Amino acid sequence: MADSPVDFIPVSDPLFRDPPLEYRLELPVLGLRTRFETNSRYVREVIEETFGLWRGLSGVDSGHPADVLRVQVVVYQAGEGPDRHAPVRHLCPDPIRTLAHSPGSLAVVDPTRRDAVAYVSTALAADREHFRRAFLEAIVLALATNFDRHPIHAAAIGHAECAVLLAGPSGAGKSTLAYLAHCAGLGVLSEDIVWVQLEPRFRLWGSSRRIHLLPEALRFFPGLEGTAIMVELNGQPKMAVDLVPPDGVRPFAADRAVVCLLEPGHGAPVLERIDPAPLRKGLERELTTGFDRQPWRLDATIGALTGGGGWRLRLSADPREALGCLRRMLETHSG
């Protein structure tokens, strides 16, 4: 690891008691004050790269100091281990705690303490994109979801007034439609996951830094030819495309939301209204591992999203033909 870009202040105590965490920053991730501490300038840069966009969020309640979430990342030189792309496993020992484990690295997310503590090998940290997505983002968002930020598997397009949630199984076209909306000048809150806040009022949170597209999407977006391919946690190869908002302003949240269930179809796309009961059933059907850990909150969350009914969109073979449907839903629910 002589040529590793990862710098760190050495940790002398083998039990990592009170390590020197000289690099600090605080950001309102998903609207929650989150304090980051690390012993590595490099990791601080990755934190800034990952969550720095939240610095522009206004109107965050300063709250009590005890309400701040704390994330500590301690970097150290581990023994022998994978040099590149070490596998990361996420374990859930109970309904609220989360563990992230990789050879030579471990993180414990404990919402009862309002913190996440990670010990990261230089080898994992040096694998920048993998470390960012599979480890750092995973533990920070796992912590945030315990504080009235319930995750829903859906893409979201729209703006501060209202967002349309595109719900469907993996491969249904959520990310492709989100990127299509972005190219058309529409706001994108999220490509795959949104977080629902219920108190003191409903709010939908997203994170729109990048979109990850299957290589097949090149036939619809030839301008992405040459985009680097990365391998997701599920083994799927995807292109990571940075989102640059046309007006320079990223949408972070929406005050209202309507759900649209995506289905495959034939011929022209078909958009139709559906009642709360089938909408709720369809949204519950799309729940996957990790989105159903806290059923006592999930029921209220889905109820808040589906109580007014929503939409069903049967897609054609060309997702570009659905752009008019996306605009119609936004126009119907905005204003």
Assess if residue 290 is contained within a domain. Answer: yes
Tell me, yes or no, whether 242 and 133 share the same domain. no
d(CA 210, CA 208): 6
- Span 245-273, average pLDDT: 86
CA distance 77 to 10: 8
Question: Does residue 10 lie within any of the structural domains?
Answer: no
Q: What H or E segment, with its residue span, contains residue 43? A: helix 41-51
pLDDT at 249: 65
Q: Is the pLDDT of residue 1 over 50?
A: no
Last residue of a domain, one of 113, 129, 144: 144
Half-sphere exposure of 268 (CA within 13 A, CB side): 5
Least Cα distance to 211 among 193, 225, 233, 195 occurs for 193
Instruction: Please tell me whether residues 129 and 268 are part of one structural domain.
Output: no
What pLDDT, on a 0 to 100 scale, did the predictor assign at position 302? Answer: 94
Question: How big is the chain, counted in residues?
Answer: 335
Instruction: Assess whether pLDDT exceeds 60 at residue 62.
Output: no
Whether 193 shows a pLDDT value over 80: the answer reads: yes
Q: How many C-beta neighbours within 10 Å does residue 146 have?
A: 21
CB 215 within 8 A of CB 221: no
Residue 231: band (very low, low, confident or very high) from pLDDT cuts 50, 70, 90: low
Average pLDDT over residues 240-259: 80
The alpha helices in 184-314, defined as continuous H runs, are 276-285, 295-306
Query: Is the model's pLDDT at 64 over the cut of 70?
Result: no
Q: How far is it, in rounded angstroms, from Cα 246 to Cα 5?
A: 33
User: Is 16 within the bounds of a domain?
Assistant: no
So what's the pLDDT on residue 67?
84
> What pLDDT is attached to residue 227?
83
Give residue 70's pLDDT: 96
> 47 pLDDT exceeds 90?
yes
Q: Which pLDDT score, from 0 to 100, does residue 293 have?
A: 73
108 and 256 both lie in a single domain = no
Burial 207-237 (b: 16+ CB within 10 A, else e): bbbebbbbeebeeebeeeeebeeeeeeeeee
Tell me phi and psi for residue 74, to 5 degrees.
-105, 120
- Are 155 and 292 part of one and the same domain? yes
Q: Are 116 and 107 in contact (CB under 8 A)?
A: yes
Average pLDDT (221-236) is 77
Task: Tell whether 177 and 136 lie within a shared domain.
Answer: no
Structural domain that includes position 79: 23-144
Would residue 291 count as lying in a domain?
Answer: yes
| Nearest-angstrom CA–CA distance, 189 and 160 | 9
**Spatial separation of the C-alpha atoms in residues 64 and 195, rounded to whole Å:** 22
- Residue 176 near residue 217 (C-beta atoms within 8 A): yes
Q: Are residues 174 and 191 in the same domain?
A: yes
Ranges 56-65, 87-96, 168-177: which has the least confidence: 56-65
Instruction: Give the pLDDT mean for 225-241.
Output: 76
Percent of the chain, pLDDT > 70? 87
Domain boundary among 104, 126, 144: 144
How, if at all, do strands 69-76 and 115-121 pair?
Answer: parallel
Distance CA 259, CA 303 (A): 11
Q: What is the pLDDT of residue 13?
A: 59
We report the CATH number of the domain holding residue 187 as 3.40.50
Mean pLDDT to the nearest integer, 225-238: 74
294 and 164 housed in the same domain: yes
Say whether both 165 and 241 belong to one domain: yes
Instruction: Say whether both 164 and 215 belong to one domain.
Output: yes
Choice between 243 and 81, residue whose per-residue pLDDT is larger? 243
The residue out of 93, 110, 144 marking a domain boundary is 144
59 & 199 share domain: no
Q: Is residue 308 part of a domain?
A: yes
Do 320 and 183 sit in the same domain of this protein? Answer: yes
Q: Could you tell me which residue, 251 or 282, shows the higher pLDDT?
A: 282
Residue 233 forms part of a structural domain:
yes
SS3 41: helix
Report pLDDT for 154: 93
Taking all residues of the chain, what is their mean pLDDT, rounded to a whole number? 87
Count other Cβ atoms within 10 Å, centred on residue 124: 26
Residue with the bigger pLDDT between 147 and 60: it is: 147
- Whether residue 65 is predicted with pLDDT greater than 70 in this model: the reply is no
Considering the domain boundaries, does residue 234 fall inside one?
yes
Residue 4 lies in a domain: no
- Determine how many CB atoms are found less than 10 A away from the CB of residue 17: 8
Strand 32-38 and strand 69-76: pairing?
A: parallel
Same domain? 87 vs 224: no
pLDDT at residue 228 above 70? yes
Name the pLDDT band for 279 (thresholds 50, 70, 90).
very high
How many structural domains does the chain have?
Answer: 2
| Helices and strands in the chain, H and E counts | 8, 20
